[in-house]
């Protein structure tokens, strides 16, 4: 489950930041509320919480989806920080368009 969160979080951070190269810097505490078993359908939802100079903080929520009745149950949630990097693995600034897009998040 942690691997799925990391992969989904990185993909979401890349999409939100308009960049193909992000690495995980921090994963907050994760509490597993419900079990997940082989064959379960898991949906991961993301929300941008904050944008820094080189990083983006996102909240991820994983839900177990039932194909029988369409319900979803939250199985876990965590906050993660991803950093934009260059080809050498060094942090580089997010572009101004991304910072402006999430400006209201930074004002909270």
From first to last of the 108 residues of the chain, give the pLDDT tens digit: 999 999 999 999 999 999 999 999 999 999 999 999 989 999 999 999 999 999 999 999 999 999 999 999 999 999 999 999 999 999 999 999 999 999 876 665
Q: Are 52 and 62 in contact (CB under 8 A)?
A: no
Q: Cα–Cα–Cα angle for 40, 82, 39, nearest 5°? A: 5
Using a 10 angstrom Cβ sphere, with 0-12 exposed, 13-18 middle and 19 or more buried, the burial of residue 94 is: buried
- How much is the pLDDT for 106? 66
Which sign, positive or negative, has the C-alpha torsion 23, 57, 92, 90? negative
Domains defined for the chain, CATH in brackets: 2-98 (3.10.129.10)
The SS3 of residue 105 is helix
User: Model-level pTM?
Assistant: 0.90
- How much is the pLDDT for 104? 75
- How much is the pLDDT for 100? 93
Which sign, positive or negative, has the C-alpha torsion 15, 20, 26, 29? positive
Q: Which helix (H) or strand (E) holds 42?
A: strand 41-51
- How much is the pLDDT for 103? 83
Residue with token string 């820094």:
52
């Amino acid at each position: 489950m942690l691997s799925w969160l990391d992969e989904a979080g990185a993909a979401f951070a890349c999409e939100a930041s308009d960049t193909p190269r992000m690495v995980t810097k921090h994963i907050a505490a994760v509490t597993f509320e419900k079990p997940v078993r082989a064959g379960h359908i898991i949906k991961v939802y993301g929300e941008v919480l904050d944008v820094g100079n080189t990083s983006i903080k996102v909240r991820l929520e994983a839900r177990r989806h039932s194909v029988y009745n369409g319900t979803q149950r939250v199985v876990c949630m965590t906050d993660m920080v991803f950093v934009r990097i260059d080809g050498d693995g060094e942090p580089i600034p997010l572009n101004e368009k991304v910072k402006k897009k999430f400006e209201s998040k930074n004002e909270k």
